Amino acid sequence: MDSNNKITSWHLIRRLFDGYILEHKWKLIIAILSMIIIAFTTAAYARVMEPLIDQVLVNRDSASILLIPLLFLFISIVKATATYIQSFILGVFGQRIIAEIQNNLFNKLVNSDLNFFEKNATGSLISKFLNDANLLREALTKSLTGISKDFLTLVFLIILLFITDWQLALIATIGFPLSFFPVKKIGKRMRKASIQNQEKTSDFSALLNEAFTNLIQIKLYTNEKKEVDKIKLSNELRLKAIFKVIKTRAVATPLIEILAGIFTALVILYAAGFEETSNRLSAGEFVTFITALGLSYQPLRSIANLNTSLQEGLAAAHRIFNILDLENKIVDTNNAKKLIITRGNITFQNISFSYEKFQTLKDIDFEAKLGKKLAIVGKSGAGKSTILNLIPRFNDPISGKILIDDQDIKLVTLKSLRNKISFVSQNANLFNMSIFDNILYGKIDASEEEVFDAAEKAYCKDFVEKLPKKFDTIVGESGIKLSGGQKQRIAIARAFLKNAPIILLDEATSSLDTESEKKIQLALDKLIEGKTTIIVAHRLSTIVDADEIITIQDGKIVEKGKHLELINKGGVYSKLYNESQEYKDK
């Protein structure tokens, strides 16, 4: 790795230790103690070979014939017990740490600015939760095993080699440091290959999520083959990236095998070629030496592979920490105060807003008053929904102020601001849980009676009572088991339950049939009584009774007034209304 990668790797490792690993230090200590025992017993196996050969097989010592097998059995039991403890502890340890990272990741995402999700595909984020987290878990457990068990095993075996015959040990171990340089180079390649693999996996996950989300559209336009081809291409690119990882990972072990073969051969040649060595070592000592040497290459292989696993894990950690380190722009100020509603008046003062350097709103001025219904109309893309999104601070304007009862919404807490707002959009967003729980989401501590009352006000009861499980009916992912109108009524019931003083309706009746729309319109009229209401409407017939109508064109307010005033004016609103009536007649 180059110096920058070294710094990055060290920073990531330090962060993992400080933020997560050290919180479980007792588990780590127990695992390390177990690995010390495993390392020691591995070396003990090789050491017992000497008395096995010399005392049992050569001298046929009667005491040793019983003692050595019992010693082998004892070592095996101790090693097996330590291996179980190490495997169990590290397994739990790794899963616990990854669960904590996933919890922190979700906490970060759920509190992130909405524009982050406009720039990042859902499938890609899910990939970070699952694939990246799994790679990091494997790297953590392998790294701890490699650093502790494999390293200590290698140390104990090298000590045994030098105790047995230091001259042969020098020849045998000279290859160990030589393996460091190619292993380092392989690790550098592995980091790069792993990053590419994770990116391609994220792209693949994003495409899958997009396809499943838009399955109705795919079938409607008979584009199944096109989508299958897209998935095949993405999967092929992912496979190519995976093959690079496999190829890079596969290099380390053969490299160590070659070195092992070379230096084992040198040891045998040296021992066989010099009579002094033959006389110096008994048969048992030589077998112990060769056994220890053979065993030492296993931890050396593991340590060599450790670098590749570590680089995979660090690449995953880097992607995860990139999200955890994101700074939100929509946050509470240091001295943010709780929003206090006295009247509920909303004032826009010279509001301008840009998205990706494209200005969507310019110099917007208006006031929505308590008990009044303000409607915002305009063609698609004019900026209507953008205005609504600014009120709960889903986005912030680039200039101007938004006031609620003379309180700048940037200077109040987000929680107190959003608690005062009910927002019903054209897309009824439901969770994969019961109808009852979906309505309860509007006010978690509401009573059963309050939920049923909200459902009745939103005209939910007439269809819910016909369902076999009634309010216990699970609606499916995004409410797929319900019709568009049914989903919208549940979303409106949720707003009834919340009973906030400010009501924002973004084409809230757009998914309803004519009969349902009439019922909901009556219900909404009750809901907004005595409250501040701003409505974005596509069906202009639903806002003819609005106290004030604002017409937006190209991000600017071009007209204000009541319905009849604007119709008589013959301007933009009049044209939009006439077009909607012509469409309705057709």
Residue-wise pLDDT tens for the chain (586 aa)? 344 444 466 777 777 777 777 788 888 888 889 888 888 888 887 777 776 776 766 666 666 677 878 888 888 899 899 888 888 888 888 888 888 888 888 888 888 887 787 777 777 777 777 778 877 887 777 777 767 777 888 888 888 878 877 777 777 777 666 666 666 676 667 767 777 777 787 777 777 777 766 665 666 556 777 778 888 888 888 888 878 877 776 666 666 667 666 766 776 666 665 545 555 666 777 777 777 777 777 777 777 667 677 777 787 888 888 888 888 888 888 888 999 988 889 999 999 998 777 888 899 999 998 888 899 988 877 888 889 989 999 888 989 999 999 899 999 998 899 889 888 887 777 888 898 998 888 888 889 999 999 888 888 888 888 888 888 888 887 777 887 778 888 888 888 898 889 989 887 666 556 666 677 777 777 778 888 999 888 778 778 888 899 999 888 889 999 988 888 888 888 888 887 664 454 4
CA distance 78 to 451: 61
CA-to-CA separations, 421 to 368, 438, 502, in angstroms, rounded: 14, 18, 5
Q: What's the number of CA atoms in the CB half-sphere (13 Å) around residue 387?
A: 38
Q: Which of 419, 418, 412, 429 is nearest to 391 (CA)?
A: 418
Q: Pull the structure tokens for residue 53.
A: 């050969």
CA distance 377 to 537: 6
pLDDT at 275: 46
Q: Read off the pLDDT of residues 341-365 as tens digits, 9 standing for 90 and up.
A: 888 899 999 999 987 778 888 999 9
Q: Pseudo-torsion of CA 177, 260, 174, 179, nearest 10°?
A: -20
Q: With H, G, I as helix, E, B as strand and everything else as coil, classify residue 78.
A: helix
C-alpha angle 43-310-11 in degrees, rounded to nearest 5: 120
CA distance 206 to 76: 49
> CB-based contacts of 1: which residues, under 8 Å, 6+ apart?
9, 184, 187, 188, 191
Helices (H), 281-426: 283-324, 384-390, 414-419
pLDDT at 158: 82
Handedness of CA 2, 252, 142, 173 (dihedral sign): negative
pLDDT at 184: 66
pLDDT at 178: 66
Helices (H), 214-325: 215-220, 224-273, 275-280, 283-324
Q: How many CB atoms lie within 10 A of CB 222?
A: 8
Tell the burial category of 126 from Cβ atoms under 10 Å away from its Cβ (0-12, 13-18, 19+): middle
Task: Answer whether 153's CB lies under 8 Å from 299's CB.
Answer: yes
Task: Answer whether 520's CB lies under 8 Å from 489's CB.
Answer: yes
C-alpha angle 584-496-388 in degrees, rounded to nearest 5: 60
* CB neighbour burial string for 405-420, b if at least 16 within 10 angstroms, e if fewer: bebebbebebebbbbb
> CB-based contacts of 446: which residues, under 8 Å, 6+ apart?
440, 454, 497
CA distance 573 to 557: 11
The total number of residues shown for the chain amounts to: 586
pLDDT at 4: 42
Tell me which CATH code domain 346-583 carries: 3.40.50.300
Which amino acid does the sequence have at 14? R
Which amino acid does the sequence have at 224? E
Q: Pull the structure tokens for residue 342.
A: 């006295």
pLDDT at 175: 64
Q: Pull the structure tokens for residue 241.
A: 């990236």
Tell the burial category of 519 from Cβ atoms under 10 Å away from its Cβ (0-12, 13-18, 19+): middle
pLDDT at 6: 44
pLDDT at 205: 77
pLDDT at 347: 92
pLDDT at 225: 79
Task: Answer whether 498's CB lies under 8 Å from 442's CB.
Answer: yes
Q: Give the position of tokens 């949720």.
A: 494
Q: Which of 79, 86, 84, 74 is nearest to 33 (CA)?
A: 86
Is residue 255 left, alpha or beta, with left meaning phi > 0 and alpha meaning psi from -120 to 50?
alpha
Domains 9-325 and 346-583 share a fold: no
Q: What's the number of CA atoms in the CB half-sphere (13 Å) around residue 481?
A: 13
Given strand 358-368, what is the order of strands in its sheet? Answer: 358-368, 346-355, 399-404, 407-408
Q: With H, G, I as helix, E, B as strand and everything else as coil, classify residue 349.
A: strand
Domain extents in the chain: 9-325, 346-583
CA distance 319 to 120: 13
| DSSP-derived pairing of the beta strands 532-536 and 556-561 | unpaired
Tell me which CATH code domain 9-325 carries: 1.20.1560.10
pLDDT at 524: 77
